[in-house]
Amino acid sequence: MREKYYEIASKRLIPPFALWKEIEQYGPRIISKGKGVYLYDIDGKEYIDAMSILWVVNVGHGREEIINGMYEQMKKINYVSLFGGYHHEKALELADLICSILPVESVFFSNSGSEAIETAIKLVRQYHYINGNPQRYKIVGRWHSYHGVTYGALSVSGIRQNRNFFEPLIPGFIHFEPPYCYRCPFNGVYPSCNLRCADDFERLVENEGPKTIAAVVVEPVMSALGSVYAPDIKEYYRRIKQICDKYDIILIFDEVNNGFGRTGKFFAYEHTEVIPDIFVLGKGLTSGYAPLGATAVSKKISDVFKDWMFVHGFTFGGHPISSAAAIENIKIIQNEKLYENSHIMGQYLGKRLNELYEFDIVGDIRGIGLHWSIEYVDDKKTKKNIPSKFWVAAKIEKELFKNGVYLARASVDRTYIAPPLIINQDQIDFIIQALKKSIYSVQKDYKSLVK
Ligand SMILES: Cc1ncc(COP(=O)(O)O)c(C=O)c1O
């Protein structure tokens, strides 16, 4: 059977964000089972899931409460569409629950983070149109940010390699610089830089014409760039919000990865003193038991749609099984206060990760809660990059897998670490040991190559 699966993988399934050739060469890594923080491959070998698969499985694998909730719903009815004013109980209960855990008035459901971002973009464009400001159509994002892969989500994202093949992207999407202290785009050093990166937003708005700007989309703790957040996160977002208020721009927080306990608070906006107009949710909303995205909006936005149809919707948005999963998942996070464990274990993980600075190729280690990253470099002093063709993060990820740790690979020169929020110290110790072993071995290879 195993061989059969290998053949299918090399022929039949186009892999997302992976080299097909590589799968042919090494064989697919088939994950068959999961329980708690552990995964088991097709041969029964055990791994610690150090990435919640993809910043998703916050409550851990195999939670009976969620499985039962989904099963009960499935027995009642498998599918109801929310189109045209129909409802089902679970979507209503979930909308109410989300409005009780976030400072929002109402919610729109989709199936993924990308769709929830698309929804936010379309909501604000229609919002400004209804308010008599159709010229306010521009959406601001930050360079190096990831907000998804559909055209709107990709256009607001700022990762060059993801954009190359698909340009031209949607007109009217513009970007400013992120608060990336390790490689400050302004060559500044905090605090003497006076958070120039926040002011870069205002510069962009002024240059573009403030009355043309609809919204700005930011991920409070930037995932793809490697757990990047402003050194004074409160002051940074106070300034971003001040600029939004000054020019009447809608503030959107992408909490697809950050939300549901990941950063050591229930939601990442709690690290700031700012409440955005829109929250974008996905991933940890159901912990991956079923696909679901949500765009949760303030009263200011909600009220405008009381008399106007939102001309938008996904067939499966707010699916009853996904809604049932989300409800049980949120209850677990609340009852077990998993955001607190994320904070406590996050501090321990951070302390242990700091030991990795002993390696020459480890340039920077940063994170918050259970959202951590390692950035690799050729030279610590100059911060020179390791050539991308060496695929350093991929090599380390492969070594880790051999050493019993699963890490999704999403970057050329960064390792992301984001285990389920139920993780304990012993399990973190296991991950650190495996990281040490794996980095040691890849560093040795790299050094022998560049000699
Ligand atoms: C911050 C952020 N926003 C949006 C998305 C898109 O979510 P999805 O892959 O569910 O479409 C992702 C996915 O990784 C993400 O990290």
- Tens of pLDDT, residues 141-184: 999 999 999 999 999 999 999 999 999 999 999 999 999 999 99
Q: How confident is the model at residue 40 (pLDDT cuts 50, 70, 90)?
A: very high
CA of 449 to the centre of ligand 1 (A): 35
Residue where a domain stops, chosen among 290, 311, 335: 335
Q: Is the CB of 295 under 6 A from ligand 1?
A: no
Residue where a domain stops, chosen among 335, 370, 403: 335
CA of 256 to the centre of ligand 1 (A): 6
Backbone torsion region of residue 383, taken as left when φ is above 0, otherwise alpha when ψ lies between -120 and 50, otherwise beta: left
User: Is residue 409's pLDDT more than 80?
Assistant: no
CA of 112 to the centre of ligand 1 (A): 7
Q: What is the pTM of this model?
A: 0.98
Q: How confident is the model at residue 229 (pLDDT cuts 50, 70, 90)?
A: very high
Q: Which of 52, 114, 162, 287 to mutate to test the pocket of ligand 1 (most atoms within 8 A of CB)?
A: 114
Instruction: Tell me the percentage of the chain whose pLDDT exceeds 90.
Output: 95
- The pLDDT value recorded for residue 411 is 86
102 and 166, same domain (yes or no): yes
328 and 372, same domain (yes or no): no
282 and 352, same domain (yes or no): no
95 and 224, same domain (yes or no): yes
Q: Is the CB of 152 under 6 A from ligand 1?
A: no
Three-class SS state of 424 = coil
C-alpha of 17 from chain center: 15
Nearest CA to ligand 1 atom 14: 148
CA of 283 to the centre of ligand 1 (A): 8
- Each residue of 390-428: b (16+ CB within 10 Å) or e? bbbbbbbbbbbbebbbbbbbbbbbbbbbbbbbbbeeebb
Exposed/middle/buried for residue 449 (C-beta within 10 Å: 0-12, 13-18, 19+): exposed
Q: What is the DSSP letter of 228?
A: B
Amino acid identity of residue 4, one-letter, is K
- Count how many domains the chain has: 2
Residue where a domain stops, chosen among 304, 319, 335: 335
Backbone torsion region of residue 27, taken as left when φ is above 0, otherwise alpha when ψ lies between -120 and 50, otherwise beta: left
Q: Is the CB of 257 under 6 A from ligand 1?
A: yes
72-77 long-range CB contacts below 8 Å, 24 or more apart? 72/324, 73/320, 73/321, 73/323, 73/324, 74/321, 76/320, 77/320
H-helix or E-strand spanning residue 55: helix 52-55
- Residues 113 and 97: their CA atoms lie apart, in Å, by 19
Nearest CA to ligand 1 atom 7: 113
155 and 274, same domain (yes or no): yes
341 and 330, same domain (yes or no): no
pLDDT greater at residue 316 or residue 3: 316
176 and 200, same domain (yes or no): yes
312 and 386, same domain (yes or no): no
Please give the structure tokens belonging to residue 408.
């999704």
Q: Is the CB of 112 under 6 A from ligand 1?
A: yes
pLDDT in tens, 185-210: 999 999 999 999 999 999 999 999 99
Pair 160, 145: CB distance under 8 Å = no
Exposed/middle/buried for residue 168 (C-beta within 10 Å: 0-12, 13-18, 19+): exposed
170 and 251, same domain (yes or no): yes
Q: Is the CB of 155 under 6 A from ligand 1?
A: no
**Mean pLDDT in the chain?**
97
Looking at the DSSP bridge assignments, the partners of residue 218 are: 253
- Residues 84 and 139: their CA atoms lie apart, in Å, by 29
CATH number assigned to the domain comprising residue 391: 3.90.1150.10
User: Is residue 410's pLDDT more than 80?
Assistant: no
Ligand 1 atom nearest the C-alpha of 54 is: 14
Three-class SS state of 125 = helix
368 and 429, same domain (yes or no): yes
The domain of 201 spans 64-335
Ligand 1 atom nearest the C-alpha of 112 is: 10
pLDDT in tens, 262-320: 999 999 999 999 999 999 999 999 999 999 999 999 999 999 999 999 999 999 999 99
Q: Is the CB of 288 under 6 A from ligand 1?
A: no
Q: How many CB atoms lie within 10 A of CB 433?
A: 14
394 and 368, same domain (yes or no): yes
Ligand 1 atom nearest the C-alpha of 145 is: 1
CA of 21 to the centre of ligand 1 (A): 25
Ligand 1 atom nearest the C-alpha of 114 is: 11
- The pLDDT value recorded for residue 25 is 79
pLDDT in tens, 359-383: 999 999 999 999 999 999 999 999 9
User: Is residue 26's pLDDT more than 90?
Assistant: no
* Residue among 3, 10, 6, 19 at smallest CA distance from 394: 19
CA of 226 to the centre of ligand 1 (A): 14
- Residues 57 and 242: their CA atoms lie apart, in Å, by 35
- Residues 340 and 346: their CA atoms lie apart, in Å, by 9
- Residues 90 and 270: their CA atoms lie apart, in Å, by 27
CA of 153 to the centre of ligand 1 (A): 9
DSSP of 152-164: HHHHH---HHHHG
Please give the structure tokens belonging to residue 262.
């990941």
Q: How many CB atoms lie within 10 A of CB 206?
A: 11
- The pLDDT value recorded for residue 2 is 79
309 and 163, same domain (yes or no): yes
Q: Which of 117, 146, 151 to mutate to test the pocket of ligand 1 (most atoms within 8 A of CB)?
A: 146
pLDDT in tens, 97-153: 999 999 999 999 999 999 999 999 999 999 999 999 999 999 999 999 999 999 999
Q: Side-chain half-sphere of 194: how many Cα atoms within 13 Å?
A: 2
CA of 219 to the centre of ligand 1 (A): 10
Q: Is the CB of 416 under 6 A from ligand 1?
A: no
User: Is residue 408's pLDDT more than 90?
Assistant: no
Nearest CA to ligand 1 atom 8: 113
Please give the structure tokens belonging to residue 398.
């492969």
Determine the average pLDDT of the residues in 248-259: 98
Nearest CA to ligand 1 atom 3: 147
Three-class SS state of 282 = coil
CATH number assigned to the domain comprising residue 158: 3.40.640.10
